[in-house]
Amino acid sequence: MIEQRIRDISGIKYYAASHPRVRKYYRQGNRPREFGSKVWATTLVVLERLSQEEKNFSNLKVLEIGCGWGLLGIFLAKKFSCRVTASDLDKNVLPLVEMQAKINNVHIETKVSSFNELSTRYLTNFDLVIGSEICYSDEVAEDLRKLIERCLAAKVGKIILADPGRPDFKELMLKLTTSYKVQVEILPGSANGKKTYLLSIEQNLQEQELYEEKKD
């Protein structure tokens, strides 16, 4: 019965919220305060999409924002040998990330941080910033928009955000489309039948450097 509470998707394993190890962690007073009490359905959809990639993510330095249980980062570390940092506002979810990473035999760095605390200087350490189902209010959407600006200023090569289509995320997509070269891929929804929106912004850093040299 315990083994049935370890799920498998796209080549990685994860503990279900009903697993005894997770329940024991919660009983010790560590239940997540925000939205990190389970693996959200959008993350599972994105994992299936990422599993179709070949070499696009190999050996990247990755920051997963609003990581929850960190499955996106764990997948990228396991399949593509990425060096991953999982960040979340809620410190109580980070031991869950480490728990999930351990059963997949990968190492993930963790960081307690809000979106606003991720500085341009810190973001220069990463090639890819990724997050799933993390836009749940207009205030968070604005924080995300500013974070994306800092990512681009830090020359992060690629940003990927996924969402089941909440109004605040759709408004964010519209704002980003007017300012940046944005790609939006519509994926199948989860069990509730909604669409999954996969937004990506990619910088051609070589072209950008040549442009900046010409300006100088």
Three-state SS for 37? coil
Mean pLDDT of 202-212: 56
Split at pLDDT 50, 70, 90, the class of 119 is very high
Which CATH number goes with the domain that contains 158?
A: 3.40.50.150
Split at pLDDT 50, 70, 90, the class of 147 is very high
- CA nearest to 133, candidates 169, 101, 167, 100: 169
Residue 50 pLDDT: 92
Q: What is the residue-averaged pLDDT of the chain?
A: 89
113: domain range?
3-215
More confident residue, 130 or 214: 130
pLDDT digits (tens, 9 = 90+) for 67-97: 999 999 999 999 999 999 999 999 999 999 9
More confident residue, 149 or 190: 149
The answer to whether 99 and 13 have CB atoms below 8 angstroms apart is: no
- Would you mind telling me the total number of residues written for the chain in this entry? 216
Three-state SS for 94? helix
pLDDT digits (tens, 9 = 90+) for 171-201: 999 999 988 999 999 998 866 557 899 999 9
Residue 143 pLDDT: 97
Split at pLDDT 50, 70, 90, the class of 34 is low
Residue 213 pLDDT: 43
Residue 215 pLDDT: 41
Split at pLDDT 50, 70, 90, the class of 3 is low
Q: What domain count does the chain have?
A: 1
Q: Looking at the predicted structure, is the pLDDT value of residue 206 above 70?
A: no
The answer to whether 23 and 31 have CB atoms below 8 angstroms apart is: no
Residue 214 pLDDT: 41
